[in-house]
Structure formats: structure tokens, C-alpha cells
Chain A
Amino acid sequence: MTDSKYFTTTKKGEIFELKAELNSDKKEKKKEAVKKVIASMTVGKDVSALFPDVVNCMQTDNLELKKLVYLYLMNYAKSQPDMAIMAVNTFVKDCEDPNPLIRALAVRTMGCIRVDKITEYLCEPLRKCLKDEDPYVRKTAAVCVAKLHDINAQLVEDQGFLDTLKDLISDSNPMVVANAVAALSEIAESHPSSNLLDLNPQSINKLLTALNECTECGQIFILDCLANYTPKDDREAQSICERVTPRLSHANSAVVLSAVKVLMKFMEMLSKDLDYYGTLLKKLAPPLVTLLSAEPELQYVALRNINLIVQKRPEVLKHEMKVFFVKYNDPIYVKLEKLDIMIRLASQANIAQVLAELKEYATEVDVDFVRKAVRAIGRCAIKVEQSAERCVSTLLDLIQTKVNYVVQEAIVVIKDIFRKYPNKYESVIATLCENLDSLDEPEARAAMIWIVGEYAERIDNADELLESFLEGFHDESTQVQLQLLTAIVKLFLKKPTETQELVQQVLSLATQDSDNPDLRDRGYIYWRLLSTDPVAAKEVVLAEKPLISEETDLIEPTLLDELICYIGTLASVYHKPPSAFVEGGRGVVHKSLPPRTASSESTESPETAPAGAPPGEQLDAVPTQGDLLGDLLNLDLGPPVSGPPLAASAVQMGAVDLLGGGLDSLMGDEPEGIGAPSFVAPPAAAVPANLGAPMGSGLSDLFDLTSGVGTLSGSYVAPKAVWLPAMKAKGLEISGTFTRQAGTISMDLQLTNKALQVMTDFAIQFNRNSFGLAPAAPLQVHAPLSPTQTVEISLPLSTAGSVMKTEPLNSLQVAVKNNIDVFYFSTLYPLHILFVEDGKMDRQMFLATWKDIPNENEAQFQIRDCPLNAEAVSSRLQSSNIFTVARRNVEGQDMLYQSLKLTNGIWVLAELRIQPGNPSFTLSLKCRAPEVSQHVYQAYETILKN
């Protein structure tokens, strides 16, 4: 007598037979027939033809039969709307039934019938049920409002059900409260603007009371709702935290994680000095660890969330390293996540244990896991400096195992270790070279080639090694080809005599025989560099590389803060904000952590800046990966990046004279080539990507850099020049100029989004510069910048920033950040933006000063081709705050004596000699700081010529 019998009828008239049974007089037979229908339905058979017959069975006092019919109705009403109307009367009647179970069942089922005509009839019964005396009916009706809203939102609003629902938040029964919250949250999700859940301290209090008494799913709804609330100060936050903390001991892991979310979010508002803050931190650890003893699926979700939590607050789990140790029979998805967290928690204190574990894992069976374990060893070396040596020796041990994929992974990570600790572990190169032949994966080959190229001078047979790769050049992947090209060029620069042939071979392979534009471009760049200025080539190619940052896979802080608000949700599993993947993205609201607002008495420690910190602070984290310098030089170890564009026509194709003069100079004056003036390596204090300025001087034609255009061309306000091309900034193009109006200096920027994703969270920061220019306000980009959109912003500047003399004097290094990355560029500002309004000196003063400044400080310049007369010159200069103090006519020449003052108080005195009829003027400048003269002259040029 089991239900499997319902599946067995395969006779031809099955539907017909069922029809007859459904219309039987015998109750029992009817019920059996409906059961058969349901059974067919669950396995996907179409039994919709029986609709009228099944609906006929609905009017019964047998609850089971009624339920079965309801199940059927829910499934088929959509395809048979007209028939479904027949059932309406029964529904309405059932909503009045004395048995609350039937009332609830009727209202529940009606909500599931997604037919417009039926929903109209649903309103009245629903209204009654929302006010039903029985809480079971009320809580069912609350959910029904959400269902109805999904079908017909307008109807729900018109009928005032939303207000009724809001009233239910104050219901005496906790289950009703929970369901009302759940329904409101769901409605609010589809209508983010509707202010449905405007929580206030009173309603929060009700929710917290209901929290203790409702079922576990009710607790989840309430906790998720609480997480969206922003307490008014740290006291309120603390009191909510105190009442939520007991949920951490709940047996249901979803409740625990929702509670963790509320606590993580509100903790942001608490001062770290507070005793309670420490208590809370301690309380968070045990429940998180407990989640790891649950079923593997739960563990997985928990681990993904723990990954976020340890990035945000590493102190929570810093003593719990051991629970993340991998058990050999964990599912692979759990193993990989545990490994990730182990590295995040690795520190000097526990590194020995971690390494021992990782070494153990590297001999496991699962290839993916072993690879990740080997990589993890490398990451430990980079993260914990003290352990680097031990990590390297562990990796060498692993290489000795000769297991192919272990060796390859080990070489890839050793390359990273070399980059982090240059000139420290080169003794292992010999061991690495022994394994050259076994490498068959592009990443490992590329890493090995990089190592050979980088340390070519220490590897006796570097040329042979690289040559062996060259044989199958065209069969290699792009990554390997690019790396090989760079490595051979490096080798050539280090050992020019023996490797001339090799470099010619690779250059011709890369340029003439390759279809890959990246490879060709890079080939041409090297070619041209080597042929025009080998010393410069050496400076560029062998430049010191920026060190790689400690942890490359950290989630960007603003995204991390947003994800913390989504703990326990799908977003936390994917580590992406819901807007990035939720279907249709219907008005997803971005969530952010609450800023810390202390109540008046408590003192706030300033160094702990939460999400609302000034943009400058976030810029401090400078990730040095993937910047321009790295891409250009030799770090193709990631996905290939397109090289800078190059005018191929300009390149001499003749391979014979390629290295003609270059070779001599390279070999002749090798030692003094280092530190050649035009290619100063970036100063250590500066951000690594300030290539704009130094490169611009020599290679601007090659790299199409436009920095400095602002001073050379343009009017008083130079037209905007492109400062940061889109291809260097992941699609963000920045052009701009400087203005000075009514004593205010501004940087007029034009931001264009040429990427395919929306850009947000802009911030700007300047490096220290000669005149202390600094943004006077944060970079205000009000709306997110959508693709192809352009926005114009005027950024007011002050000169109150910190001062550091730059070379050239007027260069400015700028970092701009958005949600994608941080970008750097460098530009030159015209000096006249620094000329202040009160720069007019009185005559006596002028004379005295002029005499006072020694003659060696005087500089003379010619301003050619200026058609203006003395009056015009004087008035035009005055509008730029260069004031004419006196004017004399000496032997038919007009002599203008002028003064100007810079923002930092430096006076510049000028004598401008104008001969009528001669478009060339002579400018003599005297200043106590003679280095500004050149730039003042340029300002004169700029102002007069436009």
C-alpha cells in the first residue's frame, strides 16, 4: 500500500480512467484518484486536462482531500485561468471557516494562484485574515501580502495592505512579527525607494523582543532586517549588539551567521578602546569555528564568509589557525577554502605549523589542491618575511620530488619570492635550471625564463638556456613569447658581446614573423630602444622593479566593507556585490558599513578610520601590481597586456644596422651609463608609476605621452590635455588643465569611462610637490560614471599641502582611485596659476630689491614672434597677476618693469624690453630662487602667445 502504485498505470486510457475515478461517489476512491493525479504531476506529467474534475472535488470537509486539490490548483491555475475562477467561491467560503487551519490554508493557496482575476477576489478575504483573531491566520496572511505584491504591486498599495503589514510589526505574537518583517523585506527588496522598513528605536526594540521568542527562520528575517538599520550612535549600536549576541549560540547556522553579520556591521560603530569591543571580538570566534564542524555544504558557505571576516578583522580568528587544517577526506571545495584562510591567518607566530601542514598537503593526491598548497607556501614566504628562507627550502624539497606539477608550481612561486626578496635566494637558481626540461605549462615556462633573464649574469649558460626555448618560439603561448623576448633583451644588455646574434634572432621572430600585435609592439619598442639609445634601453629594461605587494588577492577595502554587509548571503559566497550578479538587478541598494558616530561623551580614536574615511586614506594602500612600469618592463606573468601603441612605420627595418652605433656606446661607456640624466629611476618616495615625467623627455614620441602639453600649447587656460589615457587606467581616461580664477586654483578634470563597467568611488591624491599643491576638497563625482559617460569636475586646489622639491619643478604626480583600481599619472602645471593677486610691488621696493638680488641670479630669455605692443602686453600680463610696476622708454625701446609673487611668497622681478616693430622681446628675470625663472619665462610665453 505505498504511493509508488500511483506511478504504475501505463494503460492507454490513463487520463480517462482518472476522470472516471474523480467523479466517483465514493470519497475514498476520489481521494485515491486525486493522489494519483498529484503523483503524475510531481514527475512532470501533464494532467491539466483533469482540471474541472479535480476542482469539483474541492468542496469537501475532508481536509486532506482539500489540501490535495489545492496543491493541484496552485500548479495548474496559471494555464487554466478561466477554470480557476470556478474555485474562487470555495476559497472565499473557506476563508470564513471556523477552523483557523482551513482559513489559513485558503488564504495561503489563493496567494499562490498567480491569476489576475483571482487576485481581485482575494483582497477582501485577505483583509479579514490580516486582522484575524488567530495568530496562525495572521502570520499566513502577512506572507500572502508579499505574494500578492509580487503579482500586482499597485493593487496591494491601493488596498492599503502595506500599512496593515507595518502595523503587524507591533503584533503581540512574535511569529506574526517575524513574518511581517519577512514580507516587508521582500517587498522592500523589489522597491528599494519605498520607505517600507523605516526602523526607529521603538520598532527596533519590538523586533529585538520578538527575536528571542520566534522560530529560527523568524530570527533570520529579523536579524537580516536589523542589519539594515543604522543606529544613531555607538550606545545604541552596543545595546543592539548585546541583545543579538545570544543568537551566536543558536543551533541553526543560518541564525548564527545572520547574527555575525549584525555584529560585524555594528562593531564598526564601536570604539576600539571600549572594553565591550574586545568582549565582542572574543565572542565572535567560537560560533564561527563551530560552523566548521557542520555538514560540508554548510562549512563551505561558512568558510567563504570567514574569508571576508578575517580580511576585515583578522584579530577575530588569529588564534584559531588549527581548525582550518585540512582533513584528507574533506570535499575539495572545502579544502581549497581552508587553505585560503590558512594563508590569511599566517603570521610569524604560527608560520612553522602552517608550513609543516602545507608541506604535508603538497604530497596529497588531489592535483588542484596540491597546486594550491605549493602556491600557498610561496605566499607565506612573501607574507611573513622571517619564514622566507624556510619556505624556499621547503619548495626546494618539493622540487626534488620531481612530481611534474609540483615542480612547475614551485617555480612559479619562487619567481614571486625573487621579486619580493631580490638578490637573496639566487643560490637556488642552479636547482631550478635542472628542471627546465620538465616544464610544460606556459606559466611555469614563463616564470623560469623570467628568472633566467633576470639573473642572466649569474647563469653561465643563460644564452644556451634561452636559445633552447627559442627553437620552438612560434609554438609557445604569448605569455612565454613575451617573456622570452624580454629575457633575451635583458641578457643582451648584460652580456652584449656573446649574444648579439640571439637578440637579433628574437627581435626578428617577434616583429617580422609574428601575428601577435602585443608581441610585435614590444619587439619594436626594444628594437628601437636598442638601436637609438642602448644606454637608455639599459635604464628602462634593467630598471629596478617595484617589489610585489604582500597579499595580492585581498579584496579591495570598499568592496570588502560592502560585502561585510552581505554576510550570509549569496554575495558573500561569490565575493561580489549583489548588483554584479543578481538577476535583473532590480534596484539593488548598495550597502555600506555605518560610519562611527560616537555619542558626545566617548572619545574617538582618530587612527581607526572606517568606511567613511577621507579618500586620501584609502589611497595609501598602494598596490604595486599591474602598474604601468611592471607591464612595460617584463612582468607578463599575468594575462598578457597590450603594449603601448607604436608607429611601426617609423621603425627602421634593417636588421643589419640595427645595433650599429648603439653597441659601441653600450660597451664603451658602460659604467657611466648608469644614472644617465634623462632616465632617472623613479625616486623611492614617489609612487612607482610616475613614468610620465622622465619618459616624456626622451621617449614621448614613442609612448605618446602628452604630459607637459599644458604648458607648451594652449591659452591662458590651456585646453584640456589627456593626462591619463584609458588604456593605462583600465578604461578611465582623464584629461584636464589648471585654472586660476579670483585667487582660487583649480584643476579642471574631465573623466571619461571607456570601460564596460560602471565606475564609482573616485578619489584623488597628489604626491608632495614643489609648491605644496593639494586638493582642497575631495573629488566629488556625484553619480556613478557609466560606460561612455563623461563628467567634468573642477577640483579646487590649495597650496597648503606638504612641500617637496620636484624635478622638474612644476611636475605633479597624481593618484586617482576608483572602484577598479588606483592609477597614477604625472603632469606639469603652468607656473602662472601660482601667481598671486597681490603681486604688485611698489616702485621703491622694486628698485631696492632689484639691486639687492645678485646679478648671477639674473636670467635672460627671448620671447619671439609676439606681435603685441607694450600696452597690450602689460594688460594681458596683468590679468595673469604679473604687474607692471613702471614703464620707461629708453632709446625707442619700451622697458616694462614687472613684479609677481608666487603662492609661497617668492618674489620674481622682471624687465621686459620691447622694440617696436621687432616681434622678439627680451625678458630678464631676477629672483632669489633662480630655479623658478625658467618656469616663469614659460608662463610669459604661454600668456603672451595665446
Chain B
Amino acid sequence: MSLGEYEKHWKSVVSQSVCDYFFEAQEKAADVENVPPVISTPHHYLISIYRDKLFFVSVIQTEVPPLFVIEFLHRVADTFQDYFGECSEAAIKDNVVIVYELLEEMLDNGFPLATESNILKELIKPPTILRSVVNSITGSSNVGDTLPTGQLSNIPWRRAGVKYTNNEAYFDVVEEIDAIIDKSGSTVFAEIQGVIDACIKLSGMPDLSLSFMNPRLLDDVSFHPCIRFKRWESERVLSFIPPDGNFRLISYRVSSQNLVAIPVYVKHSISFKENSSCGRFDITIGPKQNMGKTIEGITVTVHMPKVVLNMNLTPTQGSYTFDPVTKVLTWDVGKITPQKLPSLKGLVNLQSGAPKPEENPSLNIQFKIQQLAISGLKVNRLDMYGEKYKPFKGVKYVTKAGKFQVRT
């Protein structure tokens, strides 16, 4: 929750009292996550996002695309994260002048100015301990005094004159499985949200082509602006001059129509007895369609009904916690070894006298599989043109659970 408030006005000054409407809405929502993102007040509209336990609120006077505002707010949060290593109240407070300078650079009269982190970093240098020491000795400043090179070229995302001694290009193919599994274990809904994040440290103006073994999988893709759409349309090759550093190259969705493999199954039995203050809880997790890879980093989170007072459980592996205030049960399972399936069973203590809960809790499951893209996507090759050196190249695959829910 944000205690301090910081404001920045671009066009005209809006009285701080407008925020009262927001605080009102915030109080009304039972949970901070349930504050509606668009709130109307008699004279303004408040568009907000909730990130890293902070609210970013913008006040709008005229008709603007709200998505544009929300995207911008997320970009601001990303930038803070990028600059200060974390996006927290303390970080903002410690860097309030840089924050102010950044905001001024990012938006002008309601028009976004420079939102690419590459360009911002040329205009305003991120704080480092070393730099602040140097600055205080030499009297130089955090603000760059030359026009950022990428600002106006046809490739606004890349600055000129990039130089590395080790030239490297790494790609992470990260796939998240979003799924809803019903009581009986059949899949109600499943899809894969994939991204390819790149870390490119290449000198000069490299022109890259990335091709896949099975590009047909990618029929719903969002591209970074650097990608040449026509090449993709005609040849199914990602051709681009990359930004410098870390960026998201593409994100894609493999929808439920294609078969989405579900790598784990859960056997569960959660029951509450009528007119008794206890219930039974028993879940077991096992591997399924895991393509022979180890499933690790498994965590199970369950929001238990309100009438649950406490839980007395025994895990066969890992450890569990139950928070009696939020009623959240978290079981940190770890790895699945197929020889002995991890399970968690025991008793549930209910508030005595209260009616037995109607709803059965959903299980939220997290897991990770290294070296596997569950959709089967595989990078074929990466070629570089335009520069003479030979870069190091690497691709890593990982599959994770996204919003993976099992109903009981």
C-alpha cells in the first residue's frame, strides 16, 4: 500500500483532492487487487495500475485511450525497476529527483516522449554507487548532454556505436501453461503463453535472423517493433536489428485448439463433515505428459474457506504453512520423484457451529521444467549479417505453470 504520495503534473495542475475518489474506491474494494482500473469522478477519470504493492494513478481530463495510459503506467514502473533495481516506495523516495526527471522525459503535454529504456538511459543515467561518488568528485551529472542517437533514426530502439569485447546473443524461450482442470481431472481450458526474451550484447549494427524448426506453431504472435513483419509473413523467419541489452523479442500464444500438454496431475480429496468442526484434506501430485523431464519448483497454494481455523497436515516431502488470517495454505513441494509421489494429508479444523463451507477451494499450482518448451517450439538457427565478428549464441528453454488451477 502506498503511504507517501508523489505527484507530477504535465498539462495543468489538478488538485490533489481528486485522489480522494481513488482512496474511496480502494477502501470499498475488499482486496487491493480488486480496485477497478478506471474510476470516474465528476471532472476527471482516474486510471490506475497496481504493481509491486504500489498504485500508479493517472488523472485524465479528456478522452484518451485507457490502454495507452495503462501501458504507459506499466512502462513507468518498468523503468523504475530498470533504474533502481526494484520498484518500491523506498526506491522512489531515494531517487525522487531522478524519478521526476524521468517522468519529465517520458511524457510531454500528455504525449509520450521517450519510453524506450535504451534511450532514457542515454538521457538520464541510472544511479550507481560508483557514479554518485564520481559525480560528487568531478561535478559531472546524471544527465546526458547529447541527443540520444537512437531517438530519430529509423531504428529508434538501437543506439549507434555499441561496442563489446565479448559479443553474445542469448535467447530464453519461456512458456507458461495457463490451465483450469476440473474436479475429475479433465482439462476445462488450457493454453500456452510463450515469450522469447533476448539478451543481445553485440557491437555495431548486427542484423539477425532467427528461424524455427516448427514455425507453424506460432499463429498468434506479438512482435517487438524491431521485427520485420513482411519477412515473417512470407518466410516465417524473425529478422531484426536488435535493441541493445535485454528485451522481449516476441510473445505468442498456443491456444487450446492445439493440444496443450498438462505435465502434472493432482489427486485430491477435501471434505468437510456436516455438523462437525473438522474436515479431511488429502492431495497427491504426480507427473503426467512431462516429456521425460524432471518437474521441479512445485508449490501448491490453496485459499481455504473462511471457516477454516487451522490445518494439521503431514507432507511426505517439502514443507507447508497455513496462514490463519488470510486462510492461505502454501505447500512447498520441490521436485517430483516418480518413485514416491509427494502428498499432503491431515485434518482441517473448522470454526465450530459455522455451517459447512459450500465452496471447495481451488488449488493453484506452480512448477518449472528446465530445458523444455512444452509446445515443442524449437529454434533452428540464428544467423547474423552486417557485422564481421562471430558472436556467442545460446538458447535456453523453460516451461512454467502460469495460472494453473485445479478445482476440487
Contacts and interface: CB of A to CB of B under 8 A. Distances in A.
B71 interface: yes
Interface in B367-408: 403, 405, 407
B104 A300 contact: no
Interface string A305-337: 000000000000001101101011101110000
Interface string B128-150: 01001100100101111111000
A46 to B, nearest CB: 13
A483 interface: no
Given A249-B229, A322-B188, A363-B358, A570 B45 contact: yes
Contacts of A4: 90, 93-94, 96
A136 interface: yes
Contact of B109 (A111, A217, A246): A111
Interface in A1-50: 1-4, 6-7, 27-28, 31, 35, 38-39, 42-44
A863 B4 CA distance: 90
Nearest to B107: A217
A75 B11 CA distance: 10
B40 A39 contact: no
B12 interface: yes
A250 B188 contact: no
Interface string B243-277: 00000101101011100000000000000000000
A300 B37 CA distance: 8
Nearest to B5: A43
B48 interface: yes
A7 B219 CA distance: 53
B95 to A, nearest CB: 5
Contacts of A356: 182, 188
A569 B253 contact: no
Contact of B256 (A220, A322, A363, A569): A322
A67 B143 contact: yes
Nearest to A63: B145
Interface stretch (A253-261, A374-382, A491-499): A253-261
Interface stretch (A288-296, A692-700, A806-814): A288-296
A215 interface: yes
Interface in B276-308: 303, 305-306
Interface residues on B, range: 35 or more
A333 B36 contact: yes
B225 A250 contact: yes
B67 interface: yes
Interface residues of A, number: 106
Contact of B141 (A65, A319, A571): A65
Given A3-B96, A582-B63, A99 B188 contact: no
B323 interface: no
B189 interface: yes
B156 A401 contact: no
Contacts of A215: 112, 115-116, 156, 225
Contact of B111 (A27, A217, A325): A217
B49 A295 contact: yes
A645 interface: no
A363 B154 CA distance: 55
B362 A328 contact: yes
A254 B141 contact: no
B6 interface: yes
A926 B145 CA distance: 103
A179 interface: yes
Interface in B180-203: 180, 182, 188-189, 191, 193
B242 to A, nearest CB: 14
Contact of A297 (B49, B94, B257): B49
Interface in B47-79: 47-50, 60-68, 70-71, 74
Given A2-B94, A114-B12, A333-B37, A251 B403 contact: no
Nearest to A363: B359
B193 A363 contact: no
A99 B143 CA distance: 14
Contact of A6 (B10, B71, B96): B96
Given A64-B143, A568-B67, A297 B48 contact: yes
A290 B13 CA distance: 37
Nearest to B6: A42
B405 A328 contact: yes
B220 A289 contact: yes
Contact of B97 (A43, A68, A286, A296): A68
Contacts of A742: none
B141 A63 contact: yes
Interface in A654-670: none
B33 interface: yes
Given A99-B145, A179-B111, A217-B112, A331 B34 contact: yes
A3 B34 CA distance: 33
A257 B68 CA distance: 10
B177 to A, nearest CB: 12
Given A67-B104, A143-B108, A297-B37, A570 B66 contact: yes
B325 interface: no
A360 B67 CA distance: 31
A257 B96 contact: no
B100 interface: yes
B170 interface: no
A605 interface: no
A100 B152 CA distance: 12
Contacts of A134: 147, 152
B49 A570 contact: no
Contact of B70 (A3, A297, A323): A297
Nearest to B68: A254
B403 A327 contact: yes
B98 interface: yes
Contacts of B144: 63
A165 to B, nearest CB: 14
Contacts of A582: 62-63
A287 B229 contact: no
Contacts of B151: 136
Given A143-B111, A217-B115, A570-B60, A43 B70 contact: no
Interface string B209-223: 000000000011111
Given A1-B136, A3-B93, A62 B141 contact: yes
A490 B221 CA distance: 61
B24 interface: no
Among A62, A64, A217, A253, find the residue whose CB has the most chain B CB atoms closer than 10 A.
A64
A111 to B, nearest CB: 7
Interface of A: 1-4, 6-7, 27-28, 31, 35, 38-39, 42-44, 62-65, 67-68, 71, 75, 78, 99-101, 108, 111-112, 114, 134-136, 139-140, 143-144, 146-147, 150, 173-175, 179, 182, 186, 189, 213, 215-217, 220, 224, 246, 249-254, 256-258, 286-287, 289-290, 293, 295-298, 300-302, 319-320, 322-323, 325, 327-329, 331-333, 353, 356-357, 360, 363-365, 401, 403, 568-571, 573-574, 578, 581-583
17 contacts: A1-B136, A7-B96, A27-B139, A42-B7, A42-B96, A99-B145, A101-B146, A114-B12, A215-B156, A217-B112, A251-B248, A251-B251, A295-B49, A295-B74, A333-B37, A365-B306, A568-B67
Given A215-B115, A331-B33, A581-B40, 7 more contacts: A3-B97, A108-B108, A251-B222, A254-B68, A320-B255, A329-B303, A573-B66
